[in-house]
Chains A and B, each alone.
Chain A
């Protein structure tokens, strides 16, 4: 049985620098062999640090930059270029996206109404229908239509603008909404409002979310399943609660233990990882995490670990976790003992 949304082998290399023949001299391997699936009505979280390819993945799904390779299916229907696939325009009616920068993602010269009604109009709705739709959606995202519909983006606060962006994404009745760091730029008190709103809308419109964020706590709170990306690759995927309680990949474990403490007595005493994430232009060989991995062995530098099934719907790309690799099933991973306040 295939999942509702299935992504297989998504890949994108960005050429940088050109020689005199116009051939790229280097490539950034932004996204490499990314596959995931999610069921209708679920939220799939994608976490990772900057440069891990999570936002590029979102743009590839929407075909905002065309993928080099990959297959996207919704309900078994494939989209994109190629035989037996529906065009990308059909995909865009089923999948929409909310961006991080609430100001840049609204046209400053258009009123709120015009921005929201734009989608329905180009998809064949009459002016009147589109306008009604805009008013209705504004109401549903918690903004009084009479008060807001004639306003311009600069007259709104960040939280209000992001509500408008959500309304705009919902305007052409998508089934899947990609939220690319959609709440990351908001203040905490406003972020909570928007997260609550997203939960309500999901139930009301039977939506499926792809929730992309660098904030592990928020991802855990909203997601059913989570995938962790590192330098363009998926290193771990699986149900959120299981992954957060027993992270299988050393990188996931490091990310979790890098979270700031919630009580002064739990303050960290040492950082789980040294150094910065490497440059995606020349990623390390083998397992891309091996230069920073506290458990790396010689083979990690040579062989790329496959994304292996470790049961319970979980997958992990780590040699130590491949069944039959000879490594103990559960190996102690980075833990930072709570210490008395220094």
Chain B
């Protein structure tokens, strides 16, 4: 039902300058922008590699992670058969770092992921409905903010007792409040934008507005924030294991390995810092990637 004069009108109004730009989807644009950032690409590659190694550890690891030989204790880096040396019980470091990655990455990512889901929902609700809902949610999160994150994680997992499940639960609880708070502040900002009013004016109910208009605008920002939390979470998880509140020996986990190798720091310093180096690299990569993502997702007008 397009008539000719109107189409002519359409051609007239379409301006010359921008017409050549081919339209891309939002995520395609973000991806393009991200792929042009060398730092993000390097970090993402390292992380993908680490995850792959962790997943494939049983298949590619040269030794068993729990079996050691007392004669081969604390071999230096570069020893024949043990390229990264051995630990204080004579277990192969390379193998243990591969297996340790499974635990560490799991404990770094899963709690943040769960906290992301719960925290975003809480923040969205608080931000969009405001009023007493907001007061209830935000004041509750304030209670959690009264304690430093480390202390809170130690207190909760201490109360629940050591173990993988308990420490992950503790970490999840620690990360819900900050994520909820970020989600709330972004939602409040988005809610006041004109397009939300326009959607309300066209007769949409609150649920539809949140689903179509608010959620995807809030998601991105919170997602960036959450990726930056993964590094914090990994360090906290390592800390919990270090204190004996996380996984138990002989399970390989970077934080726990750092703890047990602590006594050997004067004997084999380079081997002893290897788990710490892994924690450092992984969290740095997550942080830099999150920075790159922030840049890429910030579309200019």
Contact = CB atoms under 8 A, between A and B. Distances in A.
Task: Answer yes or no: do A and B interact.
Answer: yes
B197 A99 contact: yes
A144 B18 CA distance: 13
B193 interface: yes
Interface in B205-240: 205, 208, 212-213, 216-217
Interface stretch (B6-14, B76-84, B86-94, B241-249): B6-14
Nearest to A89: B203
Given A144-B14, A155-B18, A64 B193 contact: no
Interface stretch (A116-124, A207-215, A301-309): A116-124
B55 interface: no
A62 interface: yes
B146 interface: no
In terms of DSSP, what is the predominant structure of the interface of chain B?
helix
- Rank and list the top 5 A-B pairs by shortest CB-CB distance, nearest first: A142-B13, A119-B202, A105-B194, A99-B194, A144-B10
Interface stretch (A2-10, A146-154, A311-319, A322-330): A146-154
B203 A104 contact: no
8 contacts: A92-B201, A92-B203, A99-B194, A138-B10, A143-B14, A152-B29, A154-B300, A168-B198
Contact of A118 (B14, B29, B202, B300): B202
Interface in B1-54: 1-2, 6-7, 9-15, 17-19, 21, 23, 26, 29
A139 B10 contact: yes
A339 interface: no
A299 B91 CA distance: 98
Nearest to A114: B212
Interface residues of B, number: 38
A184 interface: no
B203 A172 contact: yes
A179 to B, nearest CB: 13
B199 interface: yes
A104 B195 contact: yes
A231 interface: no
Interface stretch (A37-45, A156-164, A222-230, A276-284): A156-164
Nearest to B26: A109
Interface string B151-177: 000000000000000000000000000
Given A96-B201, A142-B13, A107 B301 contact: no
Contacts of A103: 301
B10 A152 contact: no
A234 interface: no
Contacts of B26: 108-109, 152
B203 A93 contact: yes
A292 interface: no
A74 interface: no
B217 A108 contact: yes
A152 B203 contact: no
B203 A123 contact: yes
Interface of B: 1-2, 6-7, 9-15, 17-19, 21, 23, 26, 29, 193-195, 197-205, 208, 212-213, 216-217, 299-301
Contacts of B1: 136
Q: Counting chain A CB atoms within 10 Å of each CB, which of B10, B12, B205 scores highest?
A: B10
A108 B299 contact: yes
B21 A142 contact: no
Contacts of B195: 104-107, 115
A123 B31 CA distance: 35
Contacts of A93: 203
Contacts of A148: 14
A97 interface: yes
A146 to B, nearest CB: 9
Contacts of B23: 111, 150-152, 155
A142 B9 contact: yes
Nearest to A142: B13
A140 B6 contact: yes
A122 B202 contact: yes
Given A62-B201, A96-B202, A105-B194, A143 B301 contact: no
A26 interface: no
A78 interface: no
B217 A193 contact: no
Q: Counting chain B CB atoms within 10 Å of each CB, which of A109, A163, A171 scores highest?
A: A109
Given A107-B213, A155-B23, A118 B201 contact: no
Interface string A285-302: 000000000000000000
A318 B301 CA distance: 46
